[in-house]
Amino acid sequence: MNYIKKAGVMVMGVLMTAIMAGCGTVETGFSHDGRIPVVASFEATKEITEAIGGNKVEVLTVIPEGTEPHEFELKTGDIQKLQEARLFVYNGLGMEPWADQAIQAADNSKLKTVNLSRHITPIPLVDPEERKEHGAYDPHVWMGLSEAKAEALAVKNELQSVSPENREYFEHNYRQFAAETDALKKEYQQKFSHAPRKELVTGHAAFAYLCRDFGLTQVSVEDAFASGEPSAKRLVELADFCKAHHVKVVFTEELVSPAVSQTLAESAGASTESIDTLESSDDKSSYVERMRRNLEKILKAMQ
Protein backbone atom coordinates (compact mmCIF):
# COMPACT_ATOMS: atom_id res chain seq x y z
CA MET A 1 0.00 0.00 0.00
CA ASN A 2 2.75 2.33 1.07
CA TYR A 3 4.77 1.43 -2.00
CA ILE A 4 1.84 2.00 -4.32
CA LYS A 5 1.17 5.37 -2.69
CA LYS A 6 4.83 6.33 -3.05
CA ALA A 7 4.86 5.26 -6.69
CA GLY A 8 1.71 7.28 -7.22
CA VAL A 9 3.33 10.39 -5.77
CA MET A 10 6.38 9.83 -7.97
CA VAL A 11 4.23 9.47 -11.08
CA MET A 12 2.42 12.67 -10.13
CA GLY A 13 5.77 14.40 -9.67
CA VAL A 14 7.00 13.30 -13.08
CA LEU A 15 3.74 14.39 -14.64
CA MET A 16 3.90 17.81 -12.97
CA THR A 17 7.50 18.29 -14.11
CA ALA A 18 6.51 17.32 -17.64
CA ILE A 19 3.55 19.70 -17.62
CA MET A 20 5.63 22.57 -16.22
CA ALA A 21 8.46 21.92 -18.68
CA GLY A 22 5.80 21.88 -21.39
CA CYS A 23 4.56 25.28 -20.29
CA GLY A 24 8.02 26.80 -20.57
CA THR A 25 8.76 25.41 -24.01
CA VAL A 26 5.49 25.55 -25.90
CA GLU A 27 6.18 24.49 -29.47
CA THR A 28 4.89 27.31 -31.64
CA GLY A 29 7.41 27.24 -34.43
CA PHE A 30 8.83 30.73 -33.86
CA SER A 31 12.61 30.57 -33.85
CA HIS A 32 13.22 33.45 -31.38
CA ASP A 33 16.18 34.72 -33.37
CA GLY A 34 15.49 38.42 -32.87
CA ARG A 35 13.04 38.81 -35.74
CA ILE A 36 9.55 40.16 -34.91
CA PRO A 37 7.14 37.22 -34.47
CA VAL A 38 4.14 37.76 -36.77
CA VAL A 39 1.17 35.50 -37.47
CA ALA A 40 -0.63 35.67 -40.80
CA SER A 41 -3.89 33.81 -41.29
CA PHE A 42 -2.91 32.04 -44.52
CA GLU A 43 -0.54 32.16 -47.48
CA ALA A 44 -1.75 35.36 -49.19
CA THR A 45 -1.67 37.49 -46.05
CA LYS A 46 1.76 35.99 -45.30
CA GLU A 47 3.16 37.02 -48.70
CA ILE A 48 1.96 40.61 -48.30
CA THR A 49 3.33 40.79 -44.75
CA GLU A 50 6.71 39.42 -45.83
CA ALA A 51 6.93 41.89 -48.70
CA ILE A 52 7.01 44.68 -46.11
CA GLY A 53 8.56 42.92 -43.11
CA GLY A 54 11.43 41.35 -45.09
CA ASN A 55 14.18 39.94 -42.89
CA LYS A 56 12.97 41.83 -39.82
CA VAL A 57 9.96 39.54 -39.34
CA GLU A 58 9.28 35.84 -38.98
CA VAL A 59 5.82 35.08 -40.34
CA LEU A 60 3.96 31.88 -39.45
CA THR A 61 0.51 31.01 -40.77
CA VAL A 62 -2.44 29.73 -38.76
CA ILE A 63 -3.83 27.68 -41.63
CA PRO A 64 -1.42 24.82 -42.35
CA GLU A 65 0.04 24.04 -45.76
CA GLY A 66 -2.27 21.94 -47.91
CA THR A 67 -5.49 23.10 -46.23
CA GLU A 68 -7.98 24.99 -48.37
CA PRO A 69 -8.43 28.23 -46.33
CA HIS A 70 -12.18 28.33 -46.93
CA GLU A 71 -12.52 24.97 -45.16
CA PHE A 72 -10.19 25.51 -42.20
CA GLU A 73 -11.41 25.15 -38.62
CA LEU A 74 -9.50 26.53 -35.64
CA LYS A 75 -7.96 24.15 -33.09
CA THR A 76 -6.65 24.95 -29.60
CA GLY A 77 -3.02 24.54 -30.69
CA ASP A 78 -3.41 27.32 -33.25
CA ILE A 79 -3.87 29.88 -30.45
CA GLN A 80 -0.31 29.31 -29.18
CA LYS A 81 1.29 31.16 -32.09
CA LEU A 82 -0.90 34.19 -31.38
CA GLN A 83 0.20 34.16 -27.75
CA GLU A 84 3.79 34.81 -28.83
CA ALA A 85 3.19 37.09 -31.79
CA ARG A 86 3.39 40.90 -31.87
CA LEU A 87 1.14 41.25 -34.94
CA PHE A 88 -1.69 39.19 -36.45
CA VAL A 89 -2.49 39.91 -40.09
CA TYR A 90 -5.71 38.55 -41.54
CA ASN A 91 -7.83 39.02 -44.62
CA GLY A 92 -11.35 39.50 -43.25
CA LEU A 93 -14.54 39.27 -45.35
CA GLY A 94 -15.31 35.83 -43.99
CA MET A 95 -12.00 34.16 -44.90
CA GLU A 96 -11.24 33.67 -41.19
CA PRO A 97 -14.55 33.33 -39.33
CA TRP A 98 -12.42 32.11 -36.40
CA ALA A 99 -10.27 35.28 -36.14
CA ASP A 100 -12.09 37.16 -33.37
CA GLN A 101 -12.36 34.05 -31.25
CA ALA A 102 -8.65 33.30 -31.75
CA ILE A 103 -7.58 36.85 -30.82
CA GLN A 104 -9.70 36.73 -27.66
CA ALA A 105 -8.47 33.30 -26.66
CA ALA A 106 -4.82 34.32 -27.17
CA ASP A 107 -5.32 37.07 -24.57
CA ASN A 108 -2.00 38.67 -25.58
CA SER A 109 -1.77 42.34 -24.57
CA LYS A 110 1.23 42.85 -26.89
CA LEU A 111 -0.64 41.57 -29.95
CA LYS A 112 -1.68 44.10 -32.58
CA THR A 113 -4.14 42.97 -35.23
CA VAL A 114 -4.91 44.14 -38.74
CA ASN A 115 -7.95 43.15 -40.82
CA LEU A 116 -6.62 43.86 -44.32
CA SER A 117 -9.97 44.05 -46.11
CA ARG A 118 -10.91 47.11 -44.03
CA HIS A 119 -8.34 49.00 -46.10
CA ILE A 120 -9.83 48.29 -49.54
CA THR A 121 -13.19 48.58 -51.32
CA PRO A 122 -14.54 45.04 -51.71
CA ILE A 123 -16.44 43.73 -54.73
CA PRO A 124 -20.02 42.67 -53.85
CA LEU A 125 -20.98 39.06 -54.62
CA VAL A 126 -24.12 38.53 -56.67
CA ASP A 127 -24.30 34.74 -57.07
CA PRO A 128 -26.62 33.37 -54.30
CA GLU A 129 -24.46 30.25 -53.86
CA GLU A 130 -21.32 32.41 -53.47
CA ARG A 131 -23.09 34.72 -51.03
CA LYS A 132 -24.11 31.73 -48.96
CA GLU A 133 -20.49 30.57 -48.79
CA HIS A 134 -18.61 33.88 -48.43
CA GLY A 135 -21.10 36.56 -47.38
CA ALA A 136 -21.92 39.81 -49.14
CA TYR A 137 -18.43 40.52 -50.54
CA ASP A 138 -15.80 38.63 -52.50
CA PRO A 139 -12.98 37.86 -50.03
CA HIS A 140 -10.23 37.24 -52.66
CA VAL A 141 -8.97 40.82 -52.36
CA TRP A 142 -5.27 39.88 -52.48
CA MET A 143 -5.67 38.89 -56.14
CA GLY A 144 -6.08 42.58 -57.01
CA LEU A 145 -2.72 44.35 -57.39
CA SER A 146 -4.02 47.72 -56.16
CA GLU A 147 -5.76 46.01 -53.24
CA ALA A 148 -2.51 44.24 -52.33
CA LYS A 149 -0.75 47.61 -52.39
CA ALA A 150 -3.34 49.18 -50.07
CA GLU A 151 -3.06 46.19 -47.75
CA ALA A 152 0.73 46.41 -47.76
CA LEU A 153 0.38 50.02 -46.61
CA ALA A 154 -1.76 48.88 -43.67
CA VAL A 155 0.82 46.20 -42.80
CA LYS A 156 3.61 48.79 -43.03
CA ASN A 157 1.82 51.12 -40.61
CA GLU A 158 1.30 48.32 -38.09
CA LEU A 159 4.88 47.07 -38.34
CA GLN A 160 6.18 50.61 -37.84
CA SER A 161 4.21 50.90 -34.62
CA VAL A 162 5.36 47.45 -33.42
CA SER A 163 8.99 48.22 -34.27
CA PRO A 164 9.70 51.97 -34.63
CA GLU A 165 13.45 51.31 -34.91
CA ASN A 166 12.83 49.66 -38.31
CA ARG A 167 10.64 52.47 -39.57
CA GLU A 168 12.79 53.36 -42.56
CA TYR A 169 13.28 49.73 -43.57
CA PHE A 170 9.51 49.07 -43.73
CA GLU A 171 8.96 52.37 -45.53
CA HIS A 172 11.53 51.42 -48.17
CA ASN A 173 9.98 47.97 -48.67
CA TYR A 174 6.52 49.47 -49.00
CA ARG A 175 7.66 51.99 -51.62
CA GLN A 176 9.27 49.20 -53.60
CA PHE A 177 6.18 46.97 -53.34
CA ALA A 178 3.91 49.86 -54.39
CA ALA A 179 6.10 50.64 -57.40
CA GLU A 180 6.26 46.98 -58.46
CA THR A 181 2.52 46.31 -58.17
CA ASP A 182 1.71 49.57 -60.01
CA ALA A 183 4.13 48.73 -62.80
CA LEU A 184 2.88 45.14 -63.10
CA LYS A 185 -0.73 46.28 -63.35
CA LYS A 186 0.08 48.88 -65.98
CA GLU A 187 2.17 46.47 -68.03
CA TYR A 188 -0.53 43.79 -68.17
CA GLN A 189 -3.44 46.19 -68.69
CA GLN A 190 -1.63 47.19 -71.84
CA LYS A 191 -1.00 43.56 -72.85
CA PHE A 192 -4.55 42.33 -72.10
CA SER A 193 -6.10 45.18 -74.07
CA HIS A 194 -4.87 43.44 -77.23
CA ALA A 195 -5.89 39.89 -76.19
CA PRO A 196 -8.60 38.38 -78.41
CA ARG A 197 -10.14 36.24 -75.63
CA LYS A 198 -11.53 37.48 -72.32
CA GLU A 199 -12.90 34.35 -70.56
CA LEU A 200 -10.88 32.99 -67.66
CA VAL A 201 -11.99 29.44 -66.75
CA THR A 202 -10.62 28.33 -63.40
CA GLY A 203 -11.11 26.10 -60.34
CA HIS A 204 -12.87 28.39 -57.91
CA ALA A 205 -14.06 31.97 -58.23
CA ALA A 206 -10.95 33.67 -56.81
CA PHE A 207 -10.32 36.05 -59.70
CA ALA A 208 -12.94 38.81 -59.55
CA TYR A 209 -10.40 41.51 -58.59
CA LEU A 210 -7.88 40.37 -61.18
CA CYS A 211 -10.52 40.07 -63.92
CA ARG A 212 -11.88 43.55 -63.16
CA ASP A 213 -8.39 45.04 -63.55
CA PHE A 214 -7.72 43.40 -66.91
CA GLY A 215 -11.17 43.38 -68.53
CA LEU A 216 -11.68 39.61 -68.17
CA THR A 217 -14.65 37.46 -67.11
CA GLN A 218 -14.20 34.55 -64.72
CA VAL A 219 -16.03 31.23 -64.98
CA SER A 220 -15.39 28.78 -62.16
CA VAL A 221 -15.51 25.00 -62.30
CA GLU A 222 -16.44 24.90 -58.61
CA ASP A 223 -19.94 26.03 -59.62
CA ALA A 224 -20.34 22.53 -61.01
CA PHE A 225 -20.09 20.93 -57.60
CA ALA A 226 -21.36 23.61 -55.26
CA SER A 227 -23.45 21.09 -53.35
CA GLY A 228 -20.60 18.59 -52.94
CA GLU A 229 -21.06 16.37 -56.01
CA PRO A 230 -20.07 17.52 -59.49
CA SER A 231 -23.24 18.08 -61.45
CA ALA A 232 -23.01 16.41 -64.85
CA LYS A 233 -25.46 18.90 -66.30
CA ARG A 234 -23.40 21.87 -65.12
CA LEU A 235 -20.23 20.31 -66.51
CA VAL A 236 -21.86 19.93 -69.93
CA GLU A 237 -22.93 23.59 -69.75
CA LEU A 238 -19.39 24.64 -68.85
CA ALA A 239 -17.95 22.57 -71.70
CA ASP A 240 -20.44 24.19 -74.11
CA PHE A 241 -19.45 27.62 -72.79
CA CYS A 242 -15.77 26.83 -73.33
CA LYS A 243 -16.41 25.65 -76.89
CA ALA A 244 -18.59 28.66 -77.73
CA HIS A 245 -15.90 31.06 -76.49
CA HIS A 246 -13.02 29.03 -77.95
CA VAL A 247 -11.49 28.67 -74.50
CA LYS A 248 -8.06 27.10 -74.97
CA VAL A 249 -7.02 26.62 -71.36
CA VAL A 250 -8.85 25.46 -68.23
CA PHE A 251 -6.86 26.55 -65.20
CA THR A 252 -6.44 24.14 -62.30
CA GLU A 253 -5.70 24.83 -58.65
CA GLU A 254 -3.73 22.68 -56.26
CA LEU A 255 -6.41 22.66 -53.57
CA VAL A 256 -9.62 22.74 -55.64
CA SER A 257 -10.65 19.54 -57.41
CA PRO A 258 -8.13 19.47 -60.28
CA ALA A 259 -9.80 16.28 -61.55
CA VAL A 260 -13.02 18.13 -62.40
CA SER A 261 -11.05 20.81 -64.26
CA GLN A 262 -9.25 18.04 -66.14
CA THR A 263 -12.58 16.42 -67.13
CA LEU A 264 -13.93 19.77 -68.29
CA ALA A 265 -10.81 20.50 -70.34
CA GLU A 266 -11.03 17.12 -72.05
CA SER A 267 -14.68 17.49 -73.00
CA ALA A 268 -14.11 21.07 -74.19
CA GLY A 269 -11.01 20.20 -76.21
CA ALA A 270 -8.93 22.56 -74.07
CA SER A 271 -5.65 22.01 -72.25
CA THR A 272 -5.04 22.52 -68.54
CA GLU A 273 -2.59 24.83 -66.84
CA SER A 274 -1.98 25.40 -63.13
CA ILE A 275 -2.82 28.75 -61.56
CA ASP A 276 -1.86 30.15 -58.18
CA THR A 277 -4.56 31.73 -56.00
CA LEU A 278 -1.98 32.28 -53.23
CA GLU A 279 -4.02 30.03 -50.99
CA SER A 280 -1.27 27.40 -50.86
CA SER A 281 2.38 28.00 -50.08
CA ASP A 282 5.33 28.71 -52.35
CA ASP A 283 8.40 29.63 -50.33
CA LYS A 284 10.59 30.36 -53.30
CA SER A 285 8.65 33.24 -54.87
CA SER A 286 7.39 36.62 -53.69
CA TYR A 287 3.88 38.03 -54.08
CA VAL A 288 4.88 40.06 -57.14
CA GLU A 289 6.67 37.11 -58.76
CA ARG A 290 3.68 34.84 -58.23
CA MET A 291 1.24 37.39 -59.64
CA ARG A 292 3.47 38.03 -62.66
CA ARG A 293 3.59 34.28 -63.33
CA ASN A 294 -0.23 34.12 -63.12
CA LEU A 295 -0.71 37.07 -65.44
CA GLU A 296 1.72 35.68 -68.00
CA LYS A 297 -0.08 32.30 -68.04
CA ILE A 298 -3.51 33.94 -68.32
CA LEU A 299 -2.33 36.26 -71.08
CA LYS A 300 -1.01 33.27 -73.04
CA ALA A 301 -4.37 31.49 -72.64
CA MET A 302 -6.20 34.54 -74.03
CA GLN A 303 -4.35 34.55 -77.37
Catalog residues that contact Zn ion under the rule CB under 5 A. Answer: 206
Give me the least distance between CB of 220 and Zn ion, in Å please: 10
Nearer to Zn ion, 37 or 203 (CB): 203
Nearer to Zn ion, 37 or 139 (CB): 139
61 has which bridge partners? 40
Burial degree of 41 (CB within 10 A; 0-12, 13-18, 19+): buried
Give me the least distance between CB of 183 and Zn ion, in Å please: 26
Nearer to Zn ion, 95 or 106 (CB): 95
Give me the least distance between CB of 80 and Zn ion, in Å please: 26
Give me the least distance between CB of 185 and Zn ion, in Å please: 21
Q: Do 91 and 113 form a contact (C-beta atoms < 8 A)?
A: no
Give me the least distance between CB of 55 and Zn ion, in Å please: 29
Nearer to Zn ion, 30 or 209 (CB): 209
**Residue whose CB is nearest to Zn ion in the complex, by number:** 206
CA dist 279 to 72, 115, 135, 145, 233, Å? 12, 17, 19, 16, 29
Query: How does DSSP assign 29-89, residue by residue?
Result: ----SSSEEEEESSHHHHHHHHHHHGGGEEEEESSPTT--GGG----HHHHHHHHH-SEEE
Rounded Cα distance, 189 and 187, in Å? 6
Strand pairing report for 57-61 and 87-90: unpaired
Nearer to Zn ion, 162 or 205 (CB): 205
Secondary structure (3-state) at 99: helix
Rounded Cα distance, 40 and 85, in Å? 10
Task: Give the list of residues 6+ apart from residue 103 with CB closer than 8 angstroms, or none.
Answer: 82, 88, 111, 113
Nearer to Zn ion, 42 or 88 (CB): 42
Rounded Cα distance, 86 and 37, in Å? 6
Give me the least distance between CB of 194 and Zn ion, in Å please: 29
Nearer to Zn ion, 22 or 124 (CB): 124
Give me the least distance between CB of 294 and Zn ion, in Å please: 14
